[in-house]
Amino acid sequence: MSKPKIVCVVGTRPDAIKTAPVVLELRRFADRVDTLVVSTGQHREMLQQVFECFGLAADHDLDIMQHGQTLAQVTCRALEGIDRILEELRPDFLIAQGDTTTTFVGALAAFYRKVPFGHVEAGLRTGRVDDPFPEEFNRRAASLVTVLHFPPTRWAADNLRSEGISEEAVLVTGNTCIDAVLQVAERHPQDWLPEVEGRVILLTTHRRENWGGPQRSIATAALELLDRFPDTHLAVPMHKNPVVRETLTGILGSHDRVTLMEPPAYPRFVKLMQRSHLILTDSGGVQEEAPAFGIPVLVLRETTERPEGVTAGNARLIGADRQAIVDAATELLTDDAAYAAMSTSRSPYGDGRAAARIRHAVLGHLGIESPAEEPWVE
């Protein structure tokens, strides 16, 4: 008799980072279940970096991306590709994480094929279906067909319950990104910017809602901070999107205390976060990861689906207004007490054992016994 089969679908770098601990945990029980990784290839080069970091590879690569394609085209190609894979593999369970197009499409394809779907990082909400766009829609839509919801926190779980999802289908796990970031940080040495003696400010910005004017405002604010604080150095990993790169290089490219760089491999990015004194970001993943190292985060967005960091004091919601960014960063760069209040090292997002909780629930759903994990207590 063949073993049950679990498919984990990923498309972007964050997908791979947050799904890798789940895949590795499931494969600890390879005598009881087969676990396969399917990649849509939304972030091809960056996906490969993450796979190599965790010693993984895609068992099936759909290679859906084409230059200049629209969201609708990505959605259609991913849906057709995942549907073909499900028809071929006939899995017993499908897992995807977060809020990407791959996640939405994976949930929909599983629903069409009547394959139980597990949603990692479920329950995040901003209250506006178009902000962030299209991620808020993606995760809400995925929740409609999810069999097992794995919210990272009690706040996310409460969102699901308020939408009528039964208590039995919801398991608070902590966030798998904490599993990933702690594993990587422990394994890799610090080798970032050895020539820089001062304070490093890390800037990451790529979200669609910040393209154009907001991104110019963000970059201009960063320049002003460099002028105010000669002991600071700005590190800017640039997203592959040419719209983002044109703005950042045009405003920041000529400054002698700015390092513009290609997106680092995941282990190097983790060490860059650890090397930083302050982080400015519109990334959801960075909002979750940085508190694990006690690094204050200024969130360059008007809304966040990760309010736990704001509530705990690890992060502050700033938006993209130049003066607001300068004022908030200046306070943290000049006021030791304000900085200390935001640099607590206890993460509100997880304890590094989320993947084990997910594994236990998924295998249990398939009627397979495995060791239980202690509940996540925020």
Tell me the catalytic residues.
99, 121, 135, 206, 208, 239
Q: Please count the other Cβ atoms lying within 10 Å of the Cβ belonging to residue 115.
A: 20
Q: What angle do CA 78, 16, 103 make, to 5 degrees?
A: 35
Closest CA to 103 of 212, 1, 19: 19
CB 58 within 8 A of CB 51: yes
**In b/e form, how buried is each residue of 333-372, taking b as 16+ CB within 10 angstroms?**
beeeeeeeebbeeebbbbbbbbbbbbbbbbbeebeeebee
CB 95 within 8 A of CB 122: no
